[in-house]
Structure 1
Amino acid sequence: MRAVVLTGHGGLDKLDYREDWPVPVPASGQVLIRVGACGLNNTDINTRTAWYSKSVTDGITLSTGSDGFANARSEEGSWGGAPVRFPLIQGADVAGTIVGVGAGVDSVRIGERVIVDPWLLGTGDWMDLANAIYFGSECDGGFAEYTVVRSGNALRINTDLSDAELATFPCAYTTAENLVARTDLRPGETVVIAGASGGVGSAAVQLCRLRGARVVAIASPSKVASLRELGAYAVVDRNTPALSDAIRSAVGGQVDVAIDVVGGKIFGHLIEALRQGGRYSSSGAISGPSVEFDLRQLIYKDLQLTGATIVPPGTAKRLVALVEQGLLKPLLAAQYPLRELGRAQQAFMDKQHVGNIVVTTQ
């Protein structure tokens, strides 16, 4: 089959397009999916470059993402701080059709249209890192014509949306839902979202609006119209020098919740914009993992700060229901053929798009 295989940590040259890769065979409890499309996300770039390594202190830019980090340590190159197994087929955001089943899976599933829930969690404590597998990171994913996954993670979906549109959902929307849930966002509250034009950020805008919250989006000026169309109450230019003042000015006061996938210098502005007892949650730091933080902000403002990585069981199924009801909008910014995954990643890292970029296999 055709596949793009990651051969090691580093630059885009580590993405090897192959036409002779073996088709995977579904094991007991698994299904074989013919991939229609697979979306890109930051995990793909972070894993390839070993950005997760604690020795890396810079953010992902077009330059660092294309060339990799010279100081990255391969022994902690995955999101969980463990080594990555190479060769690896990445890609967490699969939409396609079941074409085969392993032992113990009813053959009636063959022909089902599905998207993949990328979190393959263990039984019992779903927060147990030892049993938390991310599709396309600890096992092969969807940058290929075919992939296998646990039957329970292949979620049947009934919609007129294309595979390319559906491939914008799995990672971005489950991550966004996890972020929003961690903050316990309530109707009528005001939330500021950093990185609002990206896959996770634009998903968060929609999910916050569904909860009845007022959304302040942080993005570049060229993306204002798109974010307002999604339901943002206000859009603040990310390059504004006094960003926290601009956020407060946009809503006439402080905000209840901050959602962040950017990190870096924006972090401090978000903390400053929060009200007494405000809540902050982060699932990414594309602008840089290291921040300056005055602990007195946390202590004397009674703030709640949470990280959001492992997504609770059942989250993806709830989102599938919202997609089927037409309550969530796919934001397909661009699509590339599988063989041009490198070009797709360059466009992804350039951050000129709103929503998600996908590769198609058919």
Structure 2
Amino acid sequence: AEGDRVAGFTFLGGLAERAVAPPFLTFPLPEPLDFVQGAALLLNYHTALFALELRGRLREGETVLVHGAAGGVGTAALQVAKALGARTIAVVSTPEKEAVARAAGADEVLRSDAAWREQARELTDDGVDLVLDPVGGDRFTDSLRSLREGGRLVVVGFTGGAIPEVKVNRLLLRNTEVVGAGWGAYVMPRPEVARKMGETIERMVLAGFIRPLIGARFGLEEAADALKLIDRRGATGKVVVEPVGVATGRGG
């Protein structure tokens, strides 16, 4: 209704003072969140829930390892995994990003420039149950090796640039899986799935599990700078562009 606080996802055309979102991707904004956090809520948290629960079949008590854990999808995945009752291991590249991952609720934080695969296996009995990978690149094979028998590697993206290839004998030897998680392609013809996910995320917000981490804020006239920050992989948390006025409290 008119005057309701909502968060909507436009797919295209969101960098504007006015935008149109389809009804099935427009959700009530839970009271604990402000509009900046609302802008950070939809894409990342819906992607995280879709990847972990629907595609990765994450169950309470399992352990999930999250690559790129200080980014928008990574911080969302840590919080959603905790809400689902999982133990979380974050993999990051710098001390600054380690602090962000801990703020997002990671139980353990490992450095990607160290022996993270061996360390992850030491932290578990025989490997992790699930790896969420928005990075790809040369760490993909080690991600497979970090899985326990029957584990799942969920592919969310390739921010590392290179698209990895899988030697399927690795899947055979330990009965592991590589699973794709393309949220947009899945929900577009299934609006009822998007609505159900929105309701689940709202419950997680109200229960205190989800609080989007804002790493940088820009005014609309600074949108190009926001995209450059993301492109050079300097962003942590979610980068938000505010359409009115000049943003304050900029980070990153």
Q: Which amino acid is 1:163 matched to?
A: F
Structure 2 unpaired stretches of 5+ = 188-192, 245-252
Q: Is the 8 A contact 1:115 1:167 kept in 2?
A: yes
Q: How does 1:156-195 map to 2 (within 5 A)?
A: 156-181=28-53, 182-195=55-68
Report the alpha carbon displacement of residue 171 of structure 1 after superposing the two structures with TM: 0.4
For the residue of structure 2 that corresponds to 1:265, the secondary structure is helix
Give me the whole-angstrom Cα distance separating, in 1, the residues matched to 2:236 and 2:124.
23
Report the alpha carbon displacement of residue 212 of structure 1 after superposing the two structures with TM: 1.7
Matched, 1:200 2:91: no
1:224 corresponding residue in structure 2: 98
Structure 1 unpaired stretches of 5+ = 1-108, 119-134
1:91 corresponding residue in structure 2: none
Report the alpha carbon displacement of residue 289 of structure 1 after superposing the two structures with TM: 4.2
Q: How does 1:208-247 map to 2 (within 5 A)?
A: 208-222=81-95, 223-240=97-114, 242-247=115-120
Q: How does 1:122-133 map to 2 (within 5 A)?
A: none
Give me the whole-angstrom Cα distance separating, in 2, the residues matched to 1:262 and 1:355.
15
The 1:199/1:144 distance shift into structure 2, 3 A limit, reads same
1:85 corresponding residue in structure 2: none
Matched, 1:259 2:132: yes
Q: Which amino acid is 1:169 matched to?
A: L
Report the alpha carbon displacement of residue 173 of structure 1 after superposing the two structures with TM: 0.4
Q: Which amino acid is 1:113 matched to?
A: R
Query: What is the percentage of aligned positions where both structures have the same residue?
Result: 31
2:152 corresponding residue in structure 1: 279
Supply the RMSD in Å over aligned alpha carbons: 1.8
1:359 corresponding residue in structure 2: 241
CA deviations 1:107-166 (Å, max 9, x no partner) are: xx11111101x3xxxxxxxxxxxxxxxx33xxx431111112233432222414321121
CA deviations 1:176-233 (Å, max 9, x no partner) are: 1111011111122111111111111111001111122111111023122232232212
Within the candidate set 188, 207, 210, 1:328 is matched to 210
Q: Which amino acid is 2:152 matched to?
A: R
Normalising by structure 2, we get a TM-score of 0.86
More helix by share: 2
Matched, 1:297 2:173: no
The 1:151/1:257 distance shift into structure 2, 3 A limit, reads closer
Report the alpha carbon displacement of residue 245 of structure 1 after superposing the two structures with TM: 1.5
Give me the whole-angstrom Cα distance separating, in 2, the residues matched to 1:150 and 1:253.
45
1:37 corresponding residue in structure 2: none
The 1:300/1:170 distance shift into structure 2, 3 A limit, reads same
For the residue of structure 2 that corresponds to 1:207, the secondary structure is helix
For the residue of structure 2 that corresponds to 1:111, the secondary structure is coil
Q: How does 1:10-49 map to 2 (within 5 A)?
A: none
Matched, 1:339 2:213: no
CA deviations 1:65-104 (Å, max 9, x no partner) are: xxxxxxxxxxxxxxxxxxxxxxxxxxxxxxxxxxxxxxxx
Normalising by structure 1, we get a TM-score of 0.61
For the residue of structure 2 that corresponds to 1:293, the secondary structure is coil
Q: Which amino acid is 2:3 matched to?
A: G
Q: How many residues align?
A: 233
Report the alpha carbon displacement of residue 318 of structure 1 after superposing the two structures with TM: 2.1
Give me the whole-angstrom Cα distance separating, in 1, the residues matched to 2:158 and 2:126.
26
**Bigger radius of gyration among the two:** 1
2:14 corresponding residue in structure 1: 142
More strand by share: 1
